């Protein structure tokens, strides 16, 4: 697999030491929202990049995954929009730094999403292993080249900012791949000694390189088909609320007041409280009709999960109790596909949920 954008930063058309004041003005005026924070598809960032640098055609050469992407889809579908491994990146302080910061962050996400889609095509295990092992090899080869050539790179303020960001994101892609697909690896997962000592030839840091984000769990569960189980009709179960009921009641009241969580003509906060806290909930209980946006509800679910033992998009969907504002039964796919880190009234929701 070719890491085309990454390689162009060191050896191609995006060398940071070649940047000038003209670039600073250009990026100040040409970094739209979709480049910085894609909402529905990570490919929207890539589309903007093609518009920004339409003359730099080498940035968009084939990466070797095209043959797999052309294969038939399976039922496993999700759009990866955010990092699966936690990052600690220095924030940009100029427009040019901002370009490289979001370029690297979103390109890594795009590649991780692209790999996931390839693995979930109708291909053989041999082909899956070929994909993953090529990704791992490409990441390691690039880290080794950076480690070998880094001291010889022209020294500029922008170079000093971009190269650590590049290294962090290559490591991120490597670890996301190794953590998601361990059974498809040829060698043991890379540790810090291999990455920093053997490849980058630098001091070994004390921070972790494999701490995962909540998005990782979602993607991993889809790979393992954990989210595919079905509850027997009339089976009895509980969402497993583990907190203080009165606090949850207050939270639901505030969510109703400030974001119109429920359709009050059909559902009360007491109805939802009863569903959330029941210890023996039978499918067929009172329906819950939402009035908020599905992106808001999906965000709330992700934030509330830690207060339950059995509360997630799968159990919500399989309860057959939750209906959207348009009166459609909410499915697992609805919640996954509407997952957003920045839903409408995010700050209000966060402030309310902090009180639980």
Residues 331 and 236 both lie in one domain: yes
Residues 14 and 81 both lie in one domain: yes
pTM over 0.75: no
Give the whole-angstrom CA distance, residue 132 versus residue 178: 8
Tell me the residue range of the domain where 68 lies. 4-226
Distances (CA, A) of 95 to 10, 30, 58, 89, 108: 20, 10, 23, 16, 20
Confidence of residue 230 (pLDDT cuts 50, 70, 90): very low
Residues 106 and 132 both lie in one domain: yes
Residues 318 and 290 both lie in one domain: yes
pLDDT tens for residues 305-317? 889 888 989 889 8
pLDDT tens for residues 71-128? 998 877 778 988 999 888 899 999 999 999 999 999 999 999 999 999 999 999 999 9
Helix (H) or strand (E) holding 236: strand 236-237
Residues 222 and 266 both lie in one domain: no
Residues 194 and 263 both lie in one domain: no
Residues 201 and 63 both lie in one domain: yes
Residues 188 and 239 both lie in one domain: no
Phi and psi torsions of 241, nearest 5°: -65, 130
Distances (CA, A) of 286 to 133, 271, 280, 320, 323: 50, 7, 14, 10, 11
Q: Identify whether the C-beta of residue 14 lies closer than 8 Å to the C-beta of residue 162.
A: no
Q: Tally the domains of the chain.
A: 2
Residues 130 and 250 both lie in one domain: no
Confidence of residue 236 (pLDDT cuts 50, 70, 90): low
Residues 101 and 213 both lie in one domain: yes
Residues 121 and 13 both lie in one domain: yes
Q: What is the pLDDT of residue 232?
A: 39
**Angle (nearest 5°) at CA 287 between 283 and 291:** 145
Domain boundary among 206, 226, 246: 226
Domain boundary among 226, 257, 280: 226
Residues 173 and 31 both lie in one domain: yes
Q: What is the pLDDT of residue 285?
A: 67
Domain boundary among 226, 241, 256: 226
């Amino acid at each position: 697999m070719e890491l085309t954008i990454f390689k162009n930063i060191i050896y191609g058309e995006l060398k940071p030491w070649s940047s000038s004041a003209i670039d600073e003005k250009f990026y100040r005026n040409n970094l739209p929202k979709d480049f910085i924070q894609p909402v529905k598809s990570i490919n929207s960032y890539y589309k903007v990049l093609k518009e920004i640098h339409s003359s730099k055609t080498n940035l968009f050469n084939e990466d070797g995954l095209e043959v797999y992407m052309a294969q038939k889809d399976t039922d496993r579908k999700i759009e990866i929009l955010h990092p699966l491994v936690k990052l600690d990146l220095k924030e940009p302080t100029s427009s040019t730094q901002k370009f490289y910061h979001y370029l690297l962050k979103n390109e890594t996400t795009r590649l991780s999403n692209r790999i996931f889609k390839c693995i979930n095509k109708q291909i053989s295990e041999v082909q899956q292993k070929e994909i993953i092992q090529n990704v791992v090899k490409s990441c390691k080869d690039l880290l080794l080249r950076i480690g070998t050539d880094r001291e010889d790179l022209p020294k500029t303020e922008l170079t000093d900012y971009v190269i650590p960001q590049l290294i962090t994101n290559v490591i991120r892609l490597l670890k996301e791949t190794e953590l998601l697909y361990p059974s498809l690896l040829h060698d043991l997962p890379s540790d810090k000694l291999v990455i920093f000592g053997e490849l980058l030839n630098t001091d070994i840091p004390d921070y972790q390189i494999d701490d995962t984000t909540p998005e990782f769990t979602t993607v991993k569960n889809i790979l393992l088909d954990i989210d595919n189980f079905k509850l027997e009709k009339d089976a009895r179960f509980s969402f497993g609320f583990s907190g203080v009921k009165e606090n949850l009641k207050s939270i639901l009241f505030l969510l109703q007041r400030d974001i119109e969580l429920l359709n009050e003509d059909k559902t009360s906060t007491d109805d939802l409280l009863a569903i959330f806290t029941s210890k023996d909930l039978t499918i067929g209980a009172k329906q819950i009709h939402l009035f908020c946006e599905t992106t808001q509800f999906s965000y709330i679910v992700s934030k509330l999960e830690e207060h339950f033992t059995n509360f997630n998009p799968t159990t919500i969907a399989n309860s057959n109790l939750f209906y959207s504002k348009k009166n459609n039964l909410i499915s697992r796919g609805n919640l996954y596909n509407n997952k957003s880190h920045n839903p409408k009234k995010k700050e209000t929701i966060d402030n309310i949920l902090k009180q639980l």
